[in-house]
Amino acid sequence: MKPKISQEAKAMAAQCRHYAMCNLDYLGTGLCSAGVEKPYISYFPQGRMDLCHALSEGLLRLTPALVDIARSCTLCGVCDLQCHFVTGMRPMKVMRELKEYVEAFLVIMAGVPSSFRYD
């Protein structure tokens, strides 16, 4: 059985306004370390919101890049502060569920013979 993204996380991910304020240190609280290290939108919270929503809709396959993106989040909480200041949302739930989804999927895949894999 595939892991699932909760309805709460899915709904929040779908509400990302794409203001991209999570890509700027406008509060002076720091920036997403993963996004700074690999400056692609997928590594910033904004991209993670889209990835989580796409996973919840069954639109994405698990790829090495997706695993790297999920694992690069340290759950530091910086994006929670930034996003809440602008939108009132607390996206940490989405960040956490994205990581948990990927890790749960990898555990499942490790026990499935390669000829039966659906990744």
Helices (H), the chain: 7-14, 33-37, 45-56, 64-72, 78-87, 92-110
Residues in contact with ligand SF4 by CB under 6 A are 32-34, 45, 48, 73-79, 95
**Rounded-to-integer distance, Cα 118 and Cα 85, Å:** 40
Task: Indicate the residue among 17 and 117 with the shorter CB distance to ligand SF4.
Answer: 17
| Least distance from ligand SF4 to the Cβ atom of residue 119, Å | 23
| Least distance from ligand SF4 to the Cβ atom of residue 37, Å | 10
| Least distance from ligand SF4 to the Cβ atom of residue 109, Å | 23
Give the number of other CB atoms < 10 A from CB of residue 40.
Answer: 11
